[in-house]
Structures are given as C-alpha cells and as structure tokens.
Structure 1
C-alpha cells in the first residue's frame, strides 16, 4: 500500500510519548501516539520510510519508523548531537511533533515467492525491523528468510530476544557477528557482517537482498553479493543523509542527481553504485 505524507508536509502534528525505553546507554526507543485520534488511526507507512521528529523549540531529525506495535508508532534514536541529546531527556507524557511518513521504502510487494535476505549493521537494523516482521508474520507468502546482523560488541545488540524468536521460525536463518568481540559465544561469529555470507543459505537467483548500515558496509556487501551471483537489481540499500526538509527542497541530502529524502532512502544498487564510492556523497 502506498503511504503518503499526512496533510501539510511542512506541518508537524502533535504526538504523545506513551512509553520510553532505554535500550543501551546511548540508544532509546519512543512509542508514540498522535494526539488527534482520527489522525492516529489513519496514519500508514511503508516499511523503510521515515518520519521527521520535532522537539518544540529545539529542532527536528529524521528517524526511521521501526514498527507499529500495539497501535503505537515506534522510533529508536541514538544520542549523537544537540537535538537527540535534548530528546533523550523527554519522558512518557511529554509531547513532540511528527511529520511524515516520507520517502521510498523497501520493495516488499515485489518479494512474494522469493527468498528475502536482510543484511544490517549496528542501529542500521532499525529501518529493516518492520519489513523483517512483515516477512516473519507471513512465512508462507515468501521463500526463505535470512537475517544477518553485525555489531561491534555483543552487548551492542538491540532486541536480542526478537532475533531469538525469529530464529525459531520455519525456513528462517539468523546469523549474528561481532567485529570487536574477543570471546566466543553460541550463535555468534567474530568479525564483520561479511564473515556470515558463507553460511547464509538462499537462492541467489531468486531473492531480494536489503542492506542497511554504514555506507562502507553496504557498498562492500553489495559488491560481494554481486560476485556471489545475486543480480545487482535485486540488491537494495537504505541510505542515511542529512535530511532536513524531507520533501526534496532544501538540497541537504542530495546524492548525485537524487535526493535521499524523496527518491530514497531505499535505492536499488544500480541506482547508487557509481556515486556510492565517491567521497563527499
């Protein structure tokens, strides 16, 4: 289903923080509800789209929609700058502004009957969570589900319980790696996400691969996947840039001839292959 930004794309709509979850020392999750109940019920998003979250009097940031759980919008945020530091101080009951959803999401509608592979790193898993959950909830609609996730340290892993639950699903494979871990743990490999590729089992000619994480990881992984026989047009990447207006007007997120906020954040590998390796983009 195509999801369009709500009403005026420039206007944030008030939402209440129903619950705040501290995931790690520098990562937290908000579960949100629009104050306008009709708006809350009408709101729809595509897997992989993002919202602009606005703290009144401080500023606005783009954040992927992690999911809609118990009819509440879920966003996970890492504290990295002035706005996110201020947002980290807000508690349940406080109100923020939301604009969205924006951008192009994952091509889930084109994956029916195919193997679906998710490759993520760090907090890069957040934009893929709702898509993974959709495939997990409809296993008979898709082929094999393969999830590969890497972090620096095992303790950095978010939502470990969720990954354990996915591992129990039929025709599903969950592979985890920690690049700086010095101890061997069950169900974990030591190294970057690429160390998992050899163990991943899926039909390389009949699959869709979705990548999310640092540019270097995605670019390197896309090249390796192509070398393994995955058609480049079946590889998709979710890019993160300095998105400020979210509608392609300000130019801050321009990526070659495209705007990440409007034409992405999800792109097919052929669309961004040439530009992705150039410094400055």
Structure 2
C-alpha cells in the first residue's frame, strides 16, 4: 500500500530551498530537472504537483514526474513557454530554486487500480504528468495487471523520453504504442492522432482503469472514442493541470464551477467532470 501522504503539514505559501542535481534537455522545448529539497526528501503521491519558483521572476505549477518510490529527490519536466519556464530552463546543476508543495488532493488511483489493467493515453506533453503514475506502477509491478501506454505527438521534434518508452516496452505485460500526427520520412511507425491507436489496444478496455492527459482539445475525442467501449465514468481519470496557477485555491484561475483544479485535482474521475459542462 502506498504510504505517501496527501496532507501537507508545512506552510503552503512558503517555498523550500532546493538544489538542482541533474539537468538535461529532452528535446527542443522540454527540460528535465532532478532536484533535492535542502531539508530532506518529501512524501508525495502520483498526480501531486509543486510550485517551482525562481527568485525575482515568479513561480509555475509543475506536476512531479518522478515516482514516490524512487526516494531520490523530485523530478520535474518543464516546457519552455514564458518568463518563469525560461528561467527554470536556464538552471544548471548546483543552482538553487524554490519548491512549494506537494499540492493537490485529486491524485492518480494507485490503490483503486491494483489487480487491473491500466491504459495510459498521452497526447503532446501528456506523458510527463502521467510519468509518476507509470513509474510507480512499474516499481510495484506485481500489484497491477497489463499496462498499455499510448503516446501521440505532433512530429518527430516533439518526441520525448524515447529511451524510457523503449525500456518500458521490453518489460513483461507492458505495451507501448506511439504515433505521430504528421508523417515524416524518419518515422516508420503509426501516423495519426492518438485516438486512432485505441482500437489497437490489446486489453479489455471496458474493464481497465484509464488515465488521460494531453491538450484540452484531445479530451472530448478520447471520451468519444471510449464511449463505444462502455467504460465506467468512475474508471476514467483526467488530468487538468494546465488550468492551475497559485496552487492553493486563492486566485480562482483554475476554478471550474464548484471545483478547483489545484485543490480538488489536478486529477479527476470523469464522473466528477461529466456533470460540469464547462470542465471539458
């Protein structure tokens, strides 16, 4: 049983100092960082996030990309899109940053998925927020049945974590299926949006736990595709991390009707969102 706590007993407004211990580019826009909290290792649950701050620049909410069972700092993967993320990209090994968290009560179903097949549907950078859940499942392989990972990106330049995907695909009862939206002479695999892989999935989708993360436009098409398999809304988990800002439910940026993504999420069962028309 996962012993990680979802209850934050620290001051949620106060960043803790941390040190970059590993940094590298994954492609042209995504950078991987492994950081260690100066005060010691944190407990967290797959799906939780942190606010990463750079003094004099600001902070950005980023999902923790490492498994809590790794016990060797926190891993984050950040896309360069603005002032804060550009500042995070410039960080080098040995430099300092602030980390606030872990945050979020809506997390991945590490307990509910035990003994069941799991289907991960990842679009664009959607593999990154699900990486913690994937790695946790693979770290506790005997607790879960078959794992299928669908990864769809726009083009070759957007591919990331290729070595990990290859390593995962070599594990027993783990299937990785990739697709590109656009054909490329360097690519011999499947071409099409990620939903075109769903009919090829080698598990009983109706009985699986399904985890989805990708660009907002992707969600309605994934849900339409899953409808024909009569998947229970309670077995579909959607990550809405893109909507977050302050991380503690004060700014209202991530409010969707009565839900706050940063407090009630960022991971939601579809049964929670299906009754909120503006959520998807």
- TM-score of the aligned structures, taking structure 1 as reference length: 0.92
Q: RMSD over aligned Cα, in angstroms?
A: 1.8
Inter-partner Cα distance in structure 2 for 1:3 and 1:240: 17
Shift of 1:240: 2.5
Q: 1:241 to 1:154 in 2, by over 3 A?
A: closer
Q: Which residue of 2 aligns with 1:46?
A: 45
Shift of 1:185: 3.6
Q: Which residue of 2 aligns with 1:155?
A: 157
Inter-partner Cα distance in structure 2 for 1:268 and 1:229: 15
Q: Which residue of 2 aligns with 1:106?
A: 108
Give unpaired runs (5+ residues) of structure 1.
none
Q: Greater shift after overlay, 118-127 or 137-146?
A: 137-146
Q: Which residue of 2 aligns with 1:57?
A: 56
Equivalenced residues, count: 274
**Match for residue 177 of structure 1 among 165, 176, 179:** 179
Cα displacement string for residues 88-109 of structure 1 (whole angstroms, at most 9, x for unaligned residues) = 2221111011011111210111
Inter-partner Cα distance in structure 2 for 1:272 and 1:185: 36
| Residues 28 and 157 in structure 2, CA contact (< 8 A), matched pair in contact too | no
- TM-score of the aligned structures, taking structure 2 as reference length: 0.92
Give unpaired runs (5+ residues) of structure 2.
none
For the residue of structure 2 that corresponds to 1:31, the secondary structure is strand
Shift of 1:61: 0.3
Inter-partner Cα distance in structure 1 for 2:157 and 2:91: 25
Q: Which residue of 2 aligns with 1:66?
A: 65
For the residue of structure 1 that corresponds to 2:7, the secondary structure is coil
Inter-partner Cα distance in structure 2 for 1:242 and 1:141: 32
Inter-partner Cα distance in structure 2 for 1:97 and 1:169: 36
| Residues 6 and 99 in structure 1, CA contact (< 8 A), matched pair in contact too | no
Q: Which residue of 2 aligns with 1:239?
A: 240
Inter-partner Cα distance in structure 1 for 2:244 and 2:199: 35
Inter-partner Cα distance in structure 2 for 1:83 and 1:156: 21
Q: Which residue of 1 aligns with 2:24?
A: 21
For the residue of structure 2 that corresponds to 1:109, the secondary structure is coil
Inter-partner Cα distance in structure 2 for 1:87 and 1:163: 25
Q: 1:95 to 1:156 in 2, by over 3 A?
A: same
Inter-partner Cα distance in structure 1 for 2:214 and 2:36: 28
Q: Which residue of 2 aligns with 1:208?
A: 209
Q: Which residue of 2 aligns with 1:137?
A: 139
Q: Which residue of 1 aligns with 2:223?
A: 222
Q: Which residue of 1 aligns with 2:249?
A: 248
